[in-house]
Chains A and B, each alone.
Chain A
């Protein structure tokens, strides 16, 4: 991309400073918004086609439009609980371009007429949140926040709020519970947060990257925005590239860029020129893709058509040396650890996924265990829990079996021969480092 739209810190390294941000068009989006009626601002965002960048890809303007008339107060919450494995884009926005996030929040607040906004940062963002707080204070002093924003009738306060280590709080209703001081567990929907959200009041919750898209849309218009990306997935997207690539990092590119271009042109290809074995396009939460899928366009509709999801676009690349059973165990342990415990299929199911996979990993599994693994995963996926975490937990298991079933089967045969009867490995119930990755074991 010729010019950065979101990661403008790449073009202007000091843009975290208010004066530098202002010299480069900063807070002009807010000024433009304040000259319009709130519903006109929502209409522009709707027309832009911007979709939620946190993972769900729900149209942002439509979400704002759900706020019921005549119910006050209203709230806007920025979701900065960035916790999906392989996602690190919101952190760069917060640390390097915080005013664009703050301006986006201010525009969102004006559009839905909310006078209070919270930025819910994951607890591990203690220091990034301080950068944000400093930027909020600067913006407040300069009249972009506080009473009578930029001389208008509109007033707004933005506060940061630190979580304390819980992946589930990235789920929007669990986030609201946590912000209200309760356990971070998801709520039943409906009612949706737009109707009854924070403190039971109408609430808009948007991801950090989504909100950072708002100021450029207000300055340059919906039509301009739609010239970037694809028809169904307009705009730029930050792709978080990690794993076995030469140049991991955040890449801001138009939606619709191919996986091949992202990995080989931008990411410098695979380490030691190895072959790609598997790709996780949405962290630990969506089905695996393989080298066969390198020409898939990274937009919301194409990744779904390829059998996975783009989600928050945390693209983890794994080369030919990666053991798929080890990988599946890794993601399953993640979900077992992060399950909030509210719904039985997720709480118990993730426990059993880990249990069975540990058996297979340690050469104590049987062929029946593979069938059992599949059955447990399908049962979690078919249950109807309060949120999608349980479903996410099954995606790598089921797609792993779909593409690499032979590897699970081979694993059993070989490990049995190696491990029995001389060196049976103990089953380890918990303790995330107790088991070495299978790459260190004889294969």
Chain B
């Protein structure tokens, strides 16, 4: 179920558009926040709230990379390995993270803390290599700075991220 906060936010969001359907991406974000990822039940609820067919909601969710339809870690690490970052050593950052987290790209650590993904350009090429953690930028990465970031994240409550 959507939290009362999300319900209230949705009411505000709906005022922005002449057509409820336009609220599908913002509503899916709320559902993802409340459910952790887009479970079939979450998408069903989005469909009911927006008076849409659940299949349509599912199709739209599947089109976009920032909607997760499987469980993800509390921190989703998205390392850019697109051209400008790749020219500046993104590959090393990815290997370092794989090694430190003990997982492959696309996997989640056993403690449910981190999911590691590689992504296309995130508009941080002047400070490459770059990654986002729960969509927050971390730039000018080195293996050492990555270690510090991981350490800091482990000590942080993911609630702060929302």
Chain A residues at the B interface, C-beta cutoff of 8 Å: 82-88, 90-91, 118, 122-127, 157, 159, 161-167, 178-184, 199, 240-244, 248-250, 280, 283-284, 314, 316, 318, 322, 327, 330-331, 334, 337-338, 340, 431-433, 436-437, 440
Mask, B120-133, CB within 8 Å of A = 1, is: 11111111100010
A432 to B132, CA, bound (A): 17
Residues of A within 8 A of B126 (CB): 88, 240-242, 248-250
Q: Which of A125, A165, A322, A431 contacts B65 (CB 8 A)?
A: A165
Since A432-B118, A433-B105 are in contact, a sample of 10 more A-B pairs with Cβ atoms closer than 8 Å, ordered by chain A residue number, is: A85-B84, A90-B123, A91-B123, A124-B132, A157-B16, A162-B25, A162-B26, A164-B64, A242-B84, A242-B128
Residues of B within 8 A of A123 (CB): 25, 64, 66, 135
Chain A CB within 10 Å, residue with most, of B23, B60, B121, B136: B121
Q: Which of A84, A249, A437 contacts B86 (CB 8 A)?
A: A437
Residues of B within 8 A of A244 (CB): 87
Contact B60 A83 (CB under 8 A): no
Residues of A within 8 A of B132 (CB): 124
Contact B19 A82 (CB under 8 A): no
Contact A437 B91 (CB under 8 A): yes
Residues of B within 8 A of A167 (CB): 120
Interface residues of A: mostly helix, strand, loop or mixed?
mixed
Mask, B37-74, CB within 8 Å of A = 1, is: 00000000000001000000001100111110000000
Q: Which of B87, B91, B121, B124 contacts A318 (CB 8 A)?
A: B87
Contact B86 A161 (CB under 8 A): no
Q: How far is the CB of A205 from chain B (nearest CB, A)?
A: 15
Contact B82 A334 (CB under 8 A): yes
Contact B25 A163 (CB under 8 A): yes
Residues of B within 8 A of A249 (CB): 126
Contact A164 B25 (CB under 8 A): yes
Contact A164 B121 (CB under 8 A): no
Residues of B within 8 A of A340 (CB): 63
Contact B26 A436 (CB under 8 A): no
A144 to B87, CA, bound (A): 44
A431 to B118, CA, bound (A): 9
Q: How far is the CB of B75 from chain A (nearest CB, A)?
A: 14
Contact A84 B121 (CB under 8 A): yes
Q: Which of B29, B105, B123 contacts A88 (CB 8 A)?
A: B123
Q: Which of A85, A86, A124, A330 contacts B66 (CB 8 A)?
A: A124
Contact B25 A166 (CB under 8 A): no
Q: Which residue of B lies closest to A129 (CB)?
A: B135
Residue B24, interface by CB 8 Å: yes
A334 to B23, CA, bound (A): 28
What is the interface size of chain B, counting residues whose CB is below 8 A from a CB of the partner? 45
Contact A85 B83 (CB under 8 A): yes
Contact A183 B123 (CB under 8 A): no
Q: How far is the CB of B108 from chain A (nearest CB, A)?
A: 16
A65 to B16, CA, bound (A): 26
Residue B145, interface by CB 8 Å: no
Residues of A within 8 A of B18 (CB): 199
Residue B22, interface by CB 8 Å: yes
Q: How far is the CB of B76 from chain A (nearest CB, A)?
A: 12
Q: How far is the CB of B98 from chain A (nearest CB, A)?
A: 8
Chain B CB within 10 Å, residue with most, of A123, A159, A199: A123
Contact A86 B65 (CB under 8 A): no
Contact B19 A181 (CB under 8 A): yes
A361 to B83, CA, bound (A): 16
Contact A162 B128 (CB under 8 A): no
Q: Which residue of A lies closest to B82 (CB)?
A: A85
Q: How far is the CB of A328 from chain B (nearest CB, A)?
A: 11
8 A-B pairs with the lowest CB-CB distances in the bound complex, closest first: A165-B65, A164-B64, A181-B21, A242-B125, A181-B24, A165-B66, A242-B84, A85-B121
Q: Which residue of B lies closest to A439 (CB)?
A: B91
Mask, B74-97, CB within 8 Å of A = 1, is: 000000011110111001001000
Contact A179 B22 (CB under 8 A): yes
A124-B122, A180-B21, A243-B87 known; A162+B82 contact, CB < 8 A: no
A88-B126, A161-B26, A334-B120 known; A166+B64 contact, CB < 8 A: yes
Chain A CB within 10 Å, residue with most, of B26, B59, B120: B120
Contact B64 A88 (CB under 8 A): no
- Pull 18 A–B residue pairs with CB atoms less than 8 Å apart, ordered by A: A84-B121, A88-B125, A124-B122, A124-B123, A161-B16, A161-B25, A164-B65, A165-B66, A165-B67, A183-B60, A199-B19, A240-B126, A242-B125, A242-B126, A249-B126, A334-B121, A431-B105, A431-B106
A166-B63, A242-B128, A433-B105 known; A180+B83 contact, CB < 8 A: no
